[in-house]
């Protein structure tokens, strides 16, 4: 499962970067139990869920600010672009319903949760 937040300054290059990183990141166990295989290598797929609350900033006050989260139509366009890039890389992609209140259940093995941010690259 990929929870995808789109920021105001994101563009198509960010969507492509995140797709490439997600598809090729070696986070699944190999025969020796080491995190050494990508989702492509495992024959897995992606559930892509839009999650603007990843941009929630609770540094000040008592209510998070979402001012850095992208609005429509940019957010849905880049969410779709990331999914299309994952599909281009050969992964099956299931999509959450953009902008909807959804009940999402996640079982995390390990647990392993990794934050990827295209703006934090060198």
Tens of pLDDT, residue by residue over 69-89, are 999 999 999 999 999 999 999
pLDDT in the model for residue 82: 98
Is 53 labeled as catalytic in the residue annotation? yes
pLDDT at position 109 over 90 = no
Q: Which two tokens stand for residue 34?
A: 């080491």
Domain boundaries, the chain: 2-120
Length of the chain in terms of residues written: 122
Beta-carbon contacts of residue 113 (< 8 Å; ≥ 6 apart): none
pLDDT in the model for residue 20: 98
> What top-level class would CATH report for the domain 2-120?
alpha beta
Percent of the chain with pLDDT over 90: 82
The catalytic position among 42, 53, 113, 121 is 53
- 65 vs 6: CA distance, rounded Å: 15
How do residues 2-41 score in pLDDT, each as one tens digit? 999 999 999 999 999 999 999 999 999 999 999 999 999 9
């Amino acid at each position: 499962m990929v929870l995808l937040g789109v920021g105001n300054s994101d563009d198509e290059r960010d969507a492509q970067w995140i797709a490439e990183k997600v598809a090729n990141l070696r986070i699944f166990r190999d025969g020796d139990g080491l995190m050494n295989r990508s989702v492509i290598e495992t024959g897995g797929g992606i559930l892509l869920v839009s999650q603007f609350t990843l941009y929630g900033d609770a540094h000040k006050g008592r209510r998070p600010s979402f001012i850095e989260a992208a609005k429509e139509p940019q957010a849905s366009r880049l969410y779709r672009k990331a999914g299309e890039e994952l599909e281009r890389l050969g992964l099956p992609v299931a999509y959450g319903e953009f902008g909807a209140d959804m009940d999402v259940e996640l079982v995390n093995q390990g647990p392993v949760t990794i934050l990827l941010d295209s703006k934090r690259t060198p």
